[in-house]
Amino acid sequence: MTHVNLLVSVRDAKEAVSALQGGADIIDAKEPGHGTLGKVNAIELARIINALGADRPVSAACGELVSTQQLDAMPHGLVFQKFGLADADSIDWQSHALAVKRNIIPVKLVIVAYADHQRVHAPEPRQVVDWVSQQPGVGLLIDTAVKDDKNLFDWLDEHELTELIAAAQQRNTTIGLAGSLEGSAFNRAVQLCPDIVGVRGAACETGNRRSVVSATRVRQLAQIIATHNERPATQPIHAAS
């Protein structure tokens, strides 16, 4: 059974420390006030990396691939850079992604496929998974582009997500799930055994992605994943409400 890891998105070094204390496996730098993949400014990103040291890998949201004309310099110690595919369904986004991959070495590229691709003119998740799975060293995240009252499962059901996860993992591609995964939606995502489950709102004090990350809430999410990872593959974990 795949070992599931918890990714928590943070906007500053203080939140990064809270996520670390709560037991997050990966710390993701993202500014929720600037959109789904809003960038944290370079100074704050460096502070996040310095605050964590080598204790956890750090990823950074870098906006949409089609809007990336010139890559920003990234501080030493960053492990992953994430780019989304909004407005990319009618262009050769694959060539653009390969160019970005070459230019950010040694940082690893993560492509974000949007479950609600219709709303932002992005390619279908299956197309993205099929391509990324053929690119050594490229990771994949399935997320929602629009942050509203809908979550990942409003756009893709368990059967569809299971197929996408299997297609990626069969080719040794790291795949994560995100998209307003709170309450039972978080548990449902964990049960599908992706490599990573990513959250922002569920880790915040009020459950709102624009509030502050809480170590207590992160700890609760980490415990759900730990319980899941400890279970035999044949024994399901029941979703919490």
Give dist(CA 233, CA 207) in Å, integer.
Answer: 30
Asked if residue 7 lies in contact with residue 197, where contact means CB atoms within 8 angstroms, the answer is: yes
Percent helix, percent strand, percent coil in the chain, to nearest 5: 40, 20, 45
How is residue 93 written in tokens?
A: 């986004």
Helix (H, G, I), strand (E, B) or coil at 181: coil
147 annotated active-site = no
The helix (H) or strand (E) run that includes residue 177 is strand 175-177
Please pick, among 14, 30, 39, 147, the residue that the annotation labels catalytic: 30
Alpha-carbon gap, residue 1 to 194, rounded angstroms: 10
Catalytic residue among 14, 39, 82, 150: 82
CA gap 239, 235 in Å, rounded? 13
Q: Hunting for tokens 């809908």 — which residue is that? A: 150
Active site annotation includes 30 = yes
d(Cα 198, Cα 178) in Å, to the nearest integer?
Answer: 5
Rounded Cα gap, residues 156 and 160, in angstroms: 6
Q: State residue 219 phi and psi, 5-degree precision.
A: -60, -40
Q: Any idea which residues carry the catalytic annotation?
A: 30, 82
